[in-house]
Amino acid sequence: MHIHILGICGTFMGGLALIAKELGHQVSGSDQNVYPPMSTQLEQQGITLMAGYRPENLAGKPDLVIIGNALSRGNVEVEAVLNQGLRYASGPQWLAEQVLQDRWVLAVAGTHGKTTTTAMLSWVLECQGFKPGFLIGGVPLDFGVSARLGESSFFVIEADEYDSAFFDKRSKFVHYRPRTAILNNLEYDHADIFPDLDTIKKQFHHLVRTVPGEGLIIAPEADANINEVLAMGCWTPVEQTSIGNSGSWSADLLKADGSQFNVSFKGERQGLVDWSLTGVHNVYNALSAIAAARHVGIAGADAVAALARFKNVKRRMEVIVRTADVTVYDDFAHHPTAIQMTLDGLRKQVGPERIVAIVEPRSNTMRMGIHTESLAQSLNPADLAIIFQPENLDWDLSGLKQYAGNIEICKTLDQIVARLQRESSYGGHFVLMSNGGFGGIYQRLQQELG
């Protein structure tokens, strides 16, 4: 079968492409923005990429078109699909029908940490010989690809609450029917499709409704929004995570930056996690992954041992330049809370060394100016925060300065690069934070500072 994917370079759709290729299908796809690491891994797998959306991309008359949720009516290639009467489906629908049926699905949902936790859980299962299938919203360094079909009944999936397609406005995760569900956290996000937090809670409760009574839900004890979702009705056992000794799964921090901690289950010691990751958020991610692994039969001690060898995911505090004076990180930041947790973890790791955060407000929610005050305050752990104001942004970022004194606005990438060149003389840590390509600034800094 020839499957053509619209929006193929998105993390989810790119993963679908890899799985479809592994199933033996001929796969092609088109996207407006073709950039690494997704474009690289697709090309390496022999998948045909087409830059830009055009009716001519459908000249081969594909048997099925999978349409990404970033595309809507009015897109010329979408219109061509409809006018030609081609068979089409959403990505989550195709995945549920062709891949997830009859498999033990382990789904990781939440506003933050989905990608990292999904990668952790997949790695733990891999280390124990389970050979799981997975679909991750990034490229885990331990696997080198974001998705694979797997060789067992287990499939680990990043379960996004974003909508499925222009013709299916349900959240993606309601298609997956997990037996093991991790609810990492819940905050307001995706302001382009969700009018308020209560609407998102309702979608999360739809997910809760699909988990069987013999399944398991894993959630942080202290997340009030998740607790409200579960209070709407829950028919599944719940194991809670905490830092301290109150949850079913608890962590005792031995280092404030989260790089070393003991893990306990119902008061019984499971082992010591000693790894390269930092941040309290990653401690919670680890506890969730360990709990989910136990649900499929992996001992806590074995999961802890696997995490000691976990390499993380590309673009999650990934070091892209290291000199005698400066370390440059690429971090896939999309929400103020994620920004704050990442910078706080780095601050606890490096102490008084200089931190410069460079932010592209690219997510739909940040582009709409929803998180103005919280965005500014999330940058407090940095000595300097440089925020990119592109021409097509709908609001003036200078308003952020009223909430924080460390913010500098730059309107061109040239200004940012020049500023960082001057900053490099002071040494320290430069953290590039964007959930997109950031205009190719990564490559420029590798040339200028490397």
Query: Looking at the predicted structure, is the pLDDT value of residue 23 above 60?
Result: yes
Query: Looking at the predicted structure, is the pLDDT value of residue 364 above 60?
Result: no
Instruction: Verify that 221 and 80 share a domain, yes or no.
Output: no
Q: What is the DSSP letter of 110?
A: S
Inside any domain, residue 31: yes
% of the chain beyond a pLDDT of 90: 68
Instruction: Verify that 244 and 365 share a domain, yes or no.
Output: no
What is the tens place of the pLDDT at every residue in 275-319? 999 889 999 999 999 999 999 999 999 999 999 999 988 888 888
Instruction: Verify that 366 and 421 share a domain, yes or no.
Output: yes
Instruction: Verify that 183 and 287 share a domain, yes or no.
Output: yes
Residue 306: count other Cβ atoms within 10 Å of its Cβ. 23
Query: Looking at the predicted structure, is the pLDDT value of residue 147 above 80?
Result: yes
CATH number for the domain harbouring residue 387: 3.90.190.20
Instruction: Verify that 77 and 107 share a domain, yes or no.
Output: no
CATH number for the domain harbouring residue 185: 3.40.1190.10
Q: What is the mean pLDDT of residues 36-47?
A: 81
Inside any domain, residue 80: yes
pLDDT band at 397 (very low <50, low <70, confident <90, very high): confident
What is the tens place of the pLDDT at every residue in 199-211? 999 999 999 999 9
The residue that leads in pLDDT, 286 or 37, is: 286
Nearest by Cα to 389 from 420, 373, 405, 413: 413
Inside any domain, residue 365: yes
Backbone phi, psi, residue 144, to 5°: 85, -10
Residue 26: count other Cβ atoms within 10 Å of its Cβ. 16
pLDDT band at 368 (very low <50, low <70, confident <90, very high): low
Inside any domain, residue 95: no
The residue that leads in pLDDT, 44 or 272, is: 272
Instruction: Verify that 106 and 85 share a domain, yes or no.
Output: no
The residue that leads in pLDDT, 406 or 75, is: 75
Range of the domain at 431: 318-449
Inside any domain, residue 156: yes
pLDDT band at 370 (very low <50, low <70, confident <90, very high): low
Inside any domain, residue 157: yes
For residue 251, the model assigns a pLDDT of 96
Q: What is the mean pLDDT of residues 247-261?
A: 93
pLDDT band at 449 (very low <50, low <70, confident <90, very high): confident
Gyration radius of the chain's alpha carbons: 22
Q: What is the mean pLDDT of residues 407-420?
A: 91
Question: 267 in the Ramachandran plot: left (φ > 0), alpha (ψ -120 to 50) or beta?
Answer: left
Instruction: Verify that 344 and 424 share a domain, yes or no.
Output: yes
For residue 450, the model assigns a pLDDT of 66
The residue that leads in pLDDT, 364 or 291, is: 291
For residue 191, the model assigns a pLDDT of 65
* Secondary structure, 3-state, 321-344: EECCCEEEEEECCCCHHHHHHHHH
Cα distances (angstroms) measured from residue 172 to each of 73, 136, 358, 411 = 19, 14, 31, 35
Q: Tell me the residue type at 31.
A: D
Query: Looking at the predicted structure, is the pLDDT value of residue 144 above 60?
Result: yes
For residue 288, the model assigns a pLDDT of 98
Instruction: Verify that 356 and 385 share a domain, yes or no.
Output: yes
Inside any domain, residue 312: no
Query: Looking at the predicted structure, is the pLDDT value of residue 190 above 70?
Result: no
Query: Looking at the predicted structure, is the pLDDT value of residue 95 above 70?
Result: yes
Question: What is the pTM for the complete model shown?
Answer: 0.86
Query: Looking at the predicted structure, is the pLDDT value of residue 398 above 70?
Result: yes
Inside any domain, residue 265: yes
For residue 73, the model assigns a pLDDT of 96
Q: What is the mean pLDDT of residues 60-78?
A: 96
For residue 236, the model assigns a pLDDT of 98
**Residue-averaged pLDDT of the chain:** 91
Q: How many domains does the chain have?
A: 3
For residue 85, the model assigns a pLDDT of 97
CATH number for the domain harbouring residue 47: 3.40.50.720
